[in-house]
Structure 1
Amino acid sequence: MNLKELAAHLNLSQTTVSRALNGFPEVSEATRRRVAAAAEQYNYRPNTRAKALATGRAMAIGHVIPLSSQHEMVNPIFGDFIAGAGESYARAGYDMILSLVEDSEQEKAYREMAAKRNVDGIVLHAPRMSDPRIDLLRSIGLPFAVHGRASDLEAPYSWLDVNNKSAFDRATQFLLDLGHRRICLVNGLESMDFAWRRRAGYEAALSSRGLPLDPALMYAEEMTESYGYRTVVATQALENPPTAYLVSSIIPAMGVRRAIEDTGRRMGREISVITHDDDLSYLRNGDEVPQFTATRSSVQEAGRQLANLLLEQIRSPTETPLTRLLEAHLTVGRSTGPAPTP
Structure 2
Amino acid sequence: MNLKELSELLGLSQTTVSRAINGYPEVSEATRLKVQETARAHNYSPNARAKSLATGRAHAIGHVIPISDQHEMMNPVFGEFISGVGQVYAREGYDLCMSVVTADDELNTYRKLHARKSVDGVVLHAPLKEDPRIELLQELKIPFVVHGRTSNSAQNYAWLDVNSFSAFSRATELLLDLGHTRIALVNGIETMDFAHRRREGYEVALKDRGIPVDLDIVRSDEMTESHGYESAKELLALENRPSAFLSASMICAAGIKRAIEEAGFEIGKDISIVTFDDDLSFMVSNEDTPVFTAFRSNVREAGAIVAEMLLRQIAAPDAALETKLLEAELIIGRSTGPFNG
Q: Give the alignment's TM-score, normalised by structure 2.
A: 0.91
Relative to 1, partners in 2 of residues 1:51 and 1:179: Cα closer, same or farther, differing over 3 Å? same
Q: Once the two structures are superposed, what CA deviation does each residue of 1:234-282 show, in whole Å capped at 9, x if it has no partner?
A: 1111222111111111111110111111111121121111111341123
Structure 1, residues 135-163: CA drift from partner, whole Å, max 9, x if none?
A: 01111111111111111111101111111
Q: In the alignment, residue 325 of structure 1 is paired with which amino acid?
A: L
Structure 2 partner of 1:96: 96
Give the superposition deviation at 1:77: 1.3
- Where in structure 2 are the equivalents of 1:159-238 lying within 5 Å? 159-238=159-238
Q: Unaligned stretches of 5+ in structure 1?
A: none
* Residue in structure 1 matched with residue 53 of structure 2 by the alignment: 53
Cα deviation per residue 1:18-46 (whole Å; 9 max; x = unaligned)? 43443323345666567667766776644
What do you get for the CA RMSD once the two structures are aligned?
A: 2.3
Matches within 5 A, 1:200-279: 200-279=200-279
Partner of 2:132: 132
Report the 3-state secondary structure (helix = DSSP H, G, I; strand = E; otherwise coil) of the residue aligned with 1:289: coil
Cα gap change, 1:35 to 1:242, in 2 (>3 Å): farther
Q: Provide closer, same or farther for how the CA distance between residues 32 and 186 of structure 1 changes in structure 2, counting only shifts above 3 A.
A: farther
Q: CA 1:267/1:140 → structure 2, altered by over 3 Å: closer, same or farther?
A: same
The reply to whether residue 294 of structure 1 matches residue 291 of structure 2 is: no
Query: CA 1:258–1:26 in 2, change beyond 3 Å: closer, same or farther?
Result: same
Aligned residues of 2:65 and 2:98 also touching (Cα < 8 A): yes
Q: Distance in 2 between matches of 1:105 and 1:197?
A: 27
Provide the C-alpha distance between the structure 1 equivalents of 2:182 and 2:295, rounded to a whole number of angstroms: 19
Contact 1:293/1:332, CA 8 A, preserved across alignment: yes
* 8 Å Cα contact 1:278/1:284 also seen in 2: no
Q: How far off its partner does 1:283 sit? A: 3.4
CA, structure 1 residues 327+5, in 2 after alignment: closer, same or farther (shift >3 Å)?
farther
Give distance in 2, aligned partners of 1:267 and 1:312: 46
Q: Which amino acid aligns with 1:279?
A: D
Q: Kindly, what percent of the aligned residue pairs are identical?
A: 57
Q: What amino acid is the match of 1:71?
A: H
Q: Does structure 1 conserve the Cα–Cα contact (< 8 Å) formed by 2:77 and 2:278?
A: no
**Quick one: which amino acid aligns to residue 105 of structure 1?**
D
Is the contact between residue 260 and residue 266 of structure 1 (CA under 8 Å) also seen in structure 2?
yes
State the AA in 1 paired with 2:266.
R
**Aligned length, in residue pairs:** 341
Distance 1:56 1:216, change over 3 A: same
